[in-house]
């Protein structure tokens, strides 16, 4: 067998392996996204049932609650596509960042609701614990695989900015 045939066979094997990894990732992420969509709908139904005026009076809460749904759906579609194609860096990034936006919106909605119905420190503790646990998770991932450092920095920084701008600043009354 020629070197060229061996190289082609190895390339096909690598592509097949990458597709299998992408399928596993896609299944996991789709399950997570569907769980979060369920949570978003539950929060929405709870608000509409118990206190619909919150949706009318708190624009940031309503906007984030409503926008989390299409971001989660787009993330789900991207993750489903990820399982069907080989090299998929762009579709993976789309799924990732749509998920981070939707997840941060959901965390912000819960934090804003906590600030409305409990003492302010409960909301700030909630945000702080989310940030702290994200950092712990990232340190653990990077400790296990140092090649993921850059991706974790970008992903976590984006998440923290979303939490700060659309959650913490809001509950502190900056806008």
Given a contact cutoff of 8 angstroms between Cβ atoms, the answer to whether 169 and 175 are in contact is yes
Full-model pTM? 0.81
On the question of pLDDT at 94 being above 70, the answer is yes
pLDDT band of residue 15 (cuts 50, 70, 90) is low
Phi, then psi, of 52 in degrees rounded to 5: -65, -20
Given a contact cutoff of 8 angstroms between Cβ atoms, the answer to whether 65 and 44 are in contact is yes
Tokens of 151: 């991706």
**Residue 2, φ and ψ in degrees, nearest 5:** -75, 160
* pLDDT given for residue 14 in this prediction: 65
CA-CA-CA-CA torsion for 98, 84, 15, 146, nearest 10 degrees?
20
Token pair of 152, please?
Answer: 């974790």
């Amino acid at each position: 067998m020629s070197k060229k045939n061996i190289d082609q066979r190895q390339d096909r094997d690598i592509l097949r392996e990458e597709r299998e990894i992408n399928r596993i990732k896609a299944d996991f992420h789709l399950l997570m996204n569907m769980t979060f969509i369920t949570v978003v709908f539950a929060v929405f139904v709870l608000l509409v049932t118990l206190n619909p005026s919150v949706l009318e009076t708190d624009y940031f809460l309503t906007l984030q609650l409503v926008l989390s749904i299409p971001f989660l759906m787009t993330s789900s579609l991207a993750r489903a596509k990820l399982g069907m194609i080989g090299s998929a860096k762009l579709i993976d990034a789309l799924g990732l960042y749509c998920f981070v936006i939707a997840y941060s919106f959901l965390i912000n909605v819960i934090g804003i609701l906590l600030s409305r119905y409990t003492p302010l420190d409960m909301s700030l503790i909630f945000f702080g614990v989310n940030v702290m646990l994200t950092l712990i998770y990232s340190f653990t991932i990077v400790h296990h695989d140092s090649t993921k450092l850059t991706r974790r920095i970008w992903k976590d920084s984006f998440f923290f900015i979303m939490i700060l701008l659309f959650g913490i600043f809001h509950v502190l009354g900056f806008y």
